[in-house]
């Protein structure tokens, strides 16, 4: 159980981030949500957590802007008193060949996917060391370990995030701090649903057919990873039972890496 712990989870108003936040909250953790969405959607997500007895707040920081990140960290401390767990989940990507990828898109991906985790951990590491307990979970991807065409910003930043994870882990070894990079395969997020819908529209296939087509060259299980399962894994990595799991990629991918 994570009673009396506080977590800051970025990109957590939907998808994997919300699933992680919900699982942490179910174990007694107070949670600061973050992300972009319509106000009524954010309110509904917060209400769903509060209805289950969770303590939850929201900060709409744009993670490409360091001052807003700083304000989010400060506000989390103000509301909850401390930050024990950081989950860096927010992500952006642009599908394009390198020569066609706008410089602005590259810089934005670096800011959100890689610099934002640095800015957050930089501010909480000292307090974690002082309390001699902390958990940093960076949501990477199988593309932190592999490359793929037309995703130079995504692959580069996810590789970098894995490197940052390893450094945090080594610096936290003597202080009860662990850091891990969860590497999901194809996960049933709103983004994945959009990709399947595009395949359905282009091919006339059913949702089941389009899903199998999408996963055929990716995930041997032929099914999407459930975000709730990623949440369960994240919660385990925050437990004392995972105190010696630190510094590496943790795959949850239906056999993707084994297959490739």
For the annotated catalytic residues, the residue numbers are 154
| HEC sequence for the chain | CCCCCEEEECCCCCHHHHHHHHHHHHCCCEEEEECCCCHHHHHHHHHHHHHCCCCEEEECCCCCCHHHHHHHHHHHHHHHCCCCEEEECCCCCCCECHHHCCHHHHHHHHHHHHHHHHHHHHHHHHHHHHHCCEEEEEECCHHHCCCCCCEHHHHHHHHHHHHHHHHHHHHHHHHCEEEEEEEECCECCHHHHHHHHHHHHHHCCCHHHHHHHHHCCCCCCCCCECHHHHHHHHHHHHCHHHCCCCCCEEEECCCHHHHC
């Amino acid at each position: 159980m994570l009673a009396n712990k506080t977590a800051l989870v970025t990109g957590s108003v939907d998808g994997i981030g919300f699933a992680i936040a919900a699982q942490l909250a179910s174990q007694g953790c107070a949670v600061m949500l973050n992300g972009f969405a319509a106000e009524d959607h954010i309110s509904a997500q917060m209400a769903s957590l509060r209805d289950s007895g969770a303590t939850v707040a929201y900060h709409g920081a744009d993670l490409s802007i360091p001052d807003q990140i700083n304000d989010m960290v400060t506000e989390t401390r103000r509301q909850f008193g401390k930050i024990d767990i950081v989950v860096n989940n927010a992500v952006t990507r642009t599908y394009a060949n390198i020569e066609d990828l706008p410089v602005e898109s590259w810089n934005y991906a670096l800011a959100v996917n890689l610099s934002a985790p640095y800015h957050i951990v930089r501010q909480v590491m000292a307090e974690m060391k002082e309390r001699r307990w902390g958990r940093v979970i960076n949501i990477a991807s199988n593309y932190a370990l592999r490359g793929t065409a037309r995703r130079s910003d995504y692959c580069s930043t996810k590789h970098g995030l894995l490197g940052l994870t390893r450094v945090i882990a080594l610096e936290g070894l003597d202080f009860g701090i662990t850091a891990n990079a969860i590497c999901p395969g194809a996960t049933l997020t709103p983004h994945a649903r959009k990709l399947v819908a595009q395949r359905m529209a282009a091919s006339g296939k059913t949702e089941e057919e389009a899903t199998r087509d999408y996963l055929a060259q990716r995930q041997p299980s032929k099914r999407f990873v459930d975000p709730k399962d990623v949440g369960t894994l994240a919660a385990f990595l925050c437990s004392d039972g995972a105190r010696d799991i630190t510094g590496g990629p943790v795959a949850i991918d239906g056999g993707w890496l084994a297959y490739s």
